[in-house]
Structure 1
Amino acid sequence: MEIFVITTEAGSIKGFVKNNKIIEIKFYNDYLEEYYDNHTALFYKTIKKYFKGYDVLDELPYEKYFKTVFEERVMKTLKNKVLFGHVVSYGELAVMAGYPRAARAVGTVMAHNNLPLIFPCHRVIKSDGRIGNFGPGQHWKEFLLKIEKYIV
């Protein structure tokens, strides 16, 4: 497994790559030294470009295993229907995925997302317009939404 590290004003992210596909992204609140090698250069450069405000993350090859059909539908709906710079509520995402009464379950799926930039759970907010929780911290969610020009 190869890794890359990107440092931003919000902290650092570490990406894990296996067989030329990204398999996990972790957020850190401290500042790690930036790093990438030949195996991770594409991922590093593409995500750096995202942090400059470009909608480029669909270019990245990834490997994601879904535990249930529900999880797969919710995550694929999120990835394909909630575009860069837009947000939806947990309830709206549940409806879009075909599960109109599953807003809380959608929240659980978001909480267990190991590829949070590829499957952009930071774009899911509360129904009252507040941005809600984000595993790595609310400051990360605000940072990512600002990158996408969604003003919080």
Structure 2
Amino acid sequence: MVDVAFGSVPTPLGDVLAALTSDGVAATAFQDGDRVRREILDRLGARAVDDPGRTALAREELAAYFAGRLTGFTVPVDWRLMSALQRRVLGTLYQSVAYGKVTTYGELAVSSGAGVPARAIGSVMGSNPIPIIVPCHRVVAGNGLGGFSGGDGVDSKRWLLTLEGHLPPTLDWEL
């Protein structure tokens, strides 16, 4: 059985939770709490361990990202608990779409070589277990932002893309 340590960081979008195996980040969530932690443990088939040292780098990097001081994560990602399709598509996204840039669902379908249509790429983005670090918010529709299943939905996506400088800030936008 896999063991997971949890750590969270307060952000403008709420407390962001990171779940780490001994190999790296296996999940993130836009909220923290017992229910969310149980859901992650159930999904990963894991048990919780108390290991703040394991989560230190992820917490530091998430805090720096949300403060506008980090443009690339170095914390390891644990890909092994994802499906083959998720690993292929999300791995391509993680490697090829830099901070402040975006790609479309259709472009990611082609560049990943996954052999699935753009609509299926949207489903993979919606099932991304590691949002923010594996930046599904950087995948947009050909005619707009598209959807987002994290945090407060498209408003969270818009906030993240504004933080990264892809979208201009609105009058009420704060870091």
**Would the alpha carbon gap of residues 18 and 122 (structure 1) be closer, same or farther in structure 2, given more than 3 Å must change?**
same
Q: Is the 8 A contact 1:10 1:29 kept in 2?
A: no
Q: Distance in 1 between matches of 2:127 and 2:160?
A: 18
Q: Give the conservation status (yes or no) of the 8 Å contact 2:24–2:77.
A: yes
2:26 corresponds to which letter in structure 1? Answer: I
**1:17 equivalent in structure 2:** 20
Report the alpha carbon displacement of residue 20 of structure 1 after superposing the two structures with TM: 5.4
Task: Tell whether 2:165 aligns with 1:149.
Answer: yes
Per-residue deviation at 1:100?
A: 6.9
1:28 aligns to what SS in structure 2? coil
- Alignment RMSD: 2.2
Query: Secondary structure of 1:131's partner?
Result: coil
Residue 10 of structure 1: CA displacement?
A: 1.8
User: Counterpart of 1:12 in 2: which secondary structure?
Assistant: strand
Question: Displacement, 1:90?
Answer: 0.4
Kindly state the Cα deviation for residue 44 of structure 1 after the two structures are TM-superposed: 0.6
Residue 86 of structure 2 corresponds to 71
Match of residue 140, structure 1, among 136, 156, 161: 156
- Conserved 8 A contact 2:126-2:149: yes
Equivalent in the alignment of 1:97: 112
**How far does the alpha carbon of each residue in 1:46-88 deviate from its partner, in whole angstroms, 9 at most, with x for none?**
111111222131x1112123312x3322112111111110011
Tell me, in whole angstroms, the C-alpha distance in 2 between the residues paired with 1:26 and 1:82. 21
Corresponding residue for residue 65 of structure 2: 50
TM-score, normalising length from structure 1?
0.84
Residues 88-115 of structure 1 deviation map (CA, whole Å, 9 limit, x = unaligned): 1101111112257610111111111101
Cα distance in 1 for residues equivalent to 2:54 and 2:96? 30
The alignment partner of 2:146 has SS state of coil
Query: In structure 2, what residue type is equivalent to 1:106?
Result: I
Query: How far does residue 29 in structure 1 lie from its aligned partner after superposition?
Result: 9.3
Task: Provide the aligned length of Structure 1 versus Structure 2.
Answer: 144
Structure 2: which 5+ residue stretches go unaligned?
A: 34-50, 169-175
Q: Which blocks of at least 5 consecutive residues in structure 1 are unaligned?
A: 31-35
